[in-house]
């Protein structure tokens, strides 16, 4: 046999629940349930779906995210199109592509837009639990809105999503909030920061020393534990905010307070991209080790203009789907199994036509039924029925079918007596099984 080929390091298959895997990554049933829940919540808030290409011009991210960011400096999968020499990049995040598409299609011409996108992102990082080279995000953007109303609504929408997934805010996930102010306030802060870090240059690591003059704000985003003290004592932007920025921040807080959502103001929250201003937030958890941020976002009022569009404000967030599903799994929250409700046991191939007609009627009535295909002994078929996780077995035995019936056996309750049900008019008892 030839050698088997393997997936690229840090890029994972999302497998069906019936395929066991050793690394305990969430299965596709969990993904499906997450996606269904997300679609339902987003629809209730009036968000519309957008799908953009996975590959974009490299220049989009260099211009959009900022040259001196972790992503652009060392995490992008960039390559040259061998056909025409174009510089291309597998998208490391969604916002730049969404803004590119909206500008290209003049989408804000008729007013603001609420948009969401779900799909793979690519970053060349060290793979570990909750950190992959291909990962997936739900990305949500409100374009053309100045806030603060929509900033707060967006945060509350995430809380609704948590609740519908069974996560409790405050216990399983916590909200952290900050304001990055406006460019002039950031400039003043930047000067104060440079001064502070220059005074403590010996405490900086190599990355930070390099960034001291190019992008000192990024130093606050460091993951180096040895630098926590010097970062902790640095001047805080929130103390330098002007009246308008403070009013925006307080207006966001007023909505969250009224809705009873608790949060922590974290002056160190700066986010990893350069485009943010005013409101920034992260939803974090203590249950995933160091990969604790499941959702992060904020306002980026300058990005649309920076990418060639007519100036328009915007706010958005990205949610890491793998991390979120790992968290749900870790907490042992109840999740749908993805198992069929019934498994059809058909001992003889001659009975398949009659069985198939009944199964079609059951599915039309909304029942999920897995038909045993490929024949085999009753014993082996029951083994499959059990392994499928189905609650019931429907047994299309020779005698039953001759009487115009099918036998129903409860696989999860040995005490429950076997029942006979009519082959025709299956819709009537399908409803009973669905609600049992």
User: Binding residues for ligand ATP, per CB under 6 A?
Assistant: 93, 123, 125, 130-132, 135, 137, 272, 291, 293-296, 318, 320, 322-323
Cβ 94 to ligand ATP shortest distance, Å: 9
Shortest approach of ligand ATP to residue 104 CB, angstroms? Answer: 23
Q: What is the nearest approach in angstroms of ligand ATP to the Cβ of residue 176?
A: 11
Based on CB atoms, which residue is closest to ligand ATP, 216 or 318? Answer: 318
- Closer to ligand ATP by CB, 173 or 433: give it: 173
Which H or E element spans position 122?
Answer: strand 113-122
**Nearer residue to ligand ATP within complex by CB, 41 or 72:** 72
Q: In angstroms, what is the minimal distance from the CB of 297 to ligand ATP?
A: 7
d(CA 336, CA 29): 7
Joined tokens for residue 262:
């608790």
Residue with tokens 């966001």: 252
Contact, 302 vs 277, CB < 8 A? yes
Q: Please say which residue, 234 or 294, places its beta carbon nearer to ligand ATP.
A: 294
Residues in the chain: 436
Nearer to ligand ATP, 165 or 390 (CB): 165
Angle at the Cα of 116 (from 114 to 119), degrees rounded to 5?
165
Nearest distance in Å: CB 392, ligand ATP: 39
Which is closer to ligand ATP, CB of 137 or CB of 245?
A: 137
Q: How far is the CB of 212 from ligand ATP (least distance, A)?
A: 21
Cα gap 377→386, rounded to integer Å? 14
Of 357, 305, 264, 283, nearest to 63 (Cα)? 305
**Token pair recorded at residue 364:** 């039309």
DSSP 111: S
The C-alpha torsion from 84 through 85 and 86 to 92, rounded to 10°, is: 130
Pairing of strands 134-143, 314-320: antiparallel
Instruction: Give 296 or 302: the residue with its C-beta nearer to ligand ATP.
Output: 296
Nearest residue relative to ligand ATP (C-beta): 320
Residue 171 Cβ vs ligand ATP, minimum distance, rounded to whole Å: 19
Q: Report d(CA 137, CA 97) in Å as an integer.
A: 13
Residue 50 Cβ vs ligand ATP, minimum distance, rounded to whole Å: 17
**CA–CA–CA angle 117, 123, 129 (5° rounding):** 95
Question: Judged by CB, which is closer to ligand ATP: 125, or 169?
Answer: 125
The full DSSP string for 180-208 is ---HHHHHHHHHHHHHHHHHTGGG--HHH
Between 153 and 322, CB nearer to ligand ATP: 322
Give least dist CB 193 to ligand ATP, A: 19
Smallest separation, CB 293 to ligand ATP (Å) = 4
Nearer to ligand ATP, 274 or 405 (CB): 274
Beta-bridge partners for 406: 421
Give the Cα separation of 146 and 65 in Å (integer).
20
The token pair at 352 is 């398949």
Q: How far is CA 98 from CA 56, 139, 279, 307, in A?
A: 11, 9, 20, 11
Q: How far is the CB of 272 from ligand ATP (least distance, A)?
A: 4
Residues 26/326, Cβ–Cβ less than 8 Å = yes
Cβ nearer to ligand ATP, comparing 281 with 396: 281
Residue 167 Cα to chain centre, angstroms: 14
Alpha-carbon distance of 415 to 81, in angstroms, equals 65
């Amino acid at each position: 046999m030839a050698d088997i080929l393997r997936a690229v390091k840090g890029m994972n298959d999302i497998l069906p629940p019936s395929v066991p895997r050793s690394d305990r990554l969430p299965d596709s049933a969990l993904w499906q349930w997450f996606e269904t829940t997300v679609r339902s919540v987003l629809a209730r808030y009036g968000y519309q779906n957008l799908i953009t290409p996975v590959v974009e011009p490299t220049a989009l991210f260099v211009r959009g995210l900022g040259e001196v960011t972790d992503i652009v400096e060392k995490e992008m999968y960039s390559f040259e199109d061998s056909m025409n020499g174009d510089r291309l990049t597998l998208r490391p995040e969604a916002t730049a592509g969404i803004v590119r598409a909206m500008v290209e299609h003049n989408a804000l011409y008729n007013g603001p837009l609420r948009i969401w996108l779900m799909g793979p992102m690519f970053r060349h990082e060290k793979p570990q639990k909750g950190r992959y080279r291909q990962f997936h995000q739900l990305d949500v953007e409100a374009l053309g809105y100045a806030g603060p109303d929509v900033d707060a609504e967006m945060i509350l929408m995430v809380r609704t999503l948590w609740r519908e997934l069974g996560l409790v805010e405050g216990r399983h996930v916590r909200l952290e909030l900050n304001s990055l102010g406006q460019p002039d306030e950031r400039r003043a802060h930047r000067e104060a920061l440079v001064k502070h870090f220059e005074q403590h240059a010996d405490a900086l690591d190599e990355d930070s020393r390099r960034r001291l003059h190019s992008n000192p704000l990024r130093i606050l985003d460091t993951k180096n534990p040895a630098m926590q003290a010097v970062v902790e004592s640095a001047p805080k932007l929130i103390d330098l905010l002007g009246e308008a920025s403070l009013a925006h921040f307080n207006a966001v807080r007023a909505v969250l307070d009224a809705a009873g959502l608790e949060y922590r103001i974290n002056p160190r929250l700066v986010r990893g991209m350069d485009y943010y201003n005013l409101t920034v937030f992260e939803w974090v958890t203590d249950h995933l080790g160091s990969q604790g941020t499941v959702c992060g976002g904020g306002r980026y009022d300058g990005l649309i203009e920076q990418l060639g569009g007519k100036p328009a404000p915007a706010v958005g967030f990205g949610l890491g789907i793998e991390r979120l599903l790992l968290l749900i799994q870790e907490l042992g929250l109840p999740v749908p199994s993805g198992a069929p409700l019934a498994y059809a046991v058909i001992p003889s191939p001659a009975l398949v036509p009659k069985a198939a007609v009944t199964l079609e009627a059951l599915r039309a009535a909304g029942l999920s039924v897995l038909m045993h295909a490929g024949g085999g002994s009753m014993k082996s078929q029951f083994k499959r029925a059990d392994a499928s996780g189905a609650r019931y077995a429907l047994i299309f035995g020779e005698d039953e079918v001759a009487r115009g019936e099918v036998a129903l056996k409860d696989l999860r309750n040995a005490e429950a007596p076997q029942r006979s049900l009519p082959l025709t008019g299956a819709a009537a008892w399908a409803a009973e099984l669905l609600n049992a």
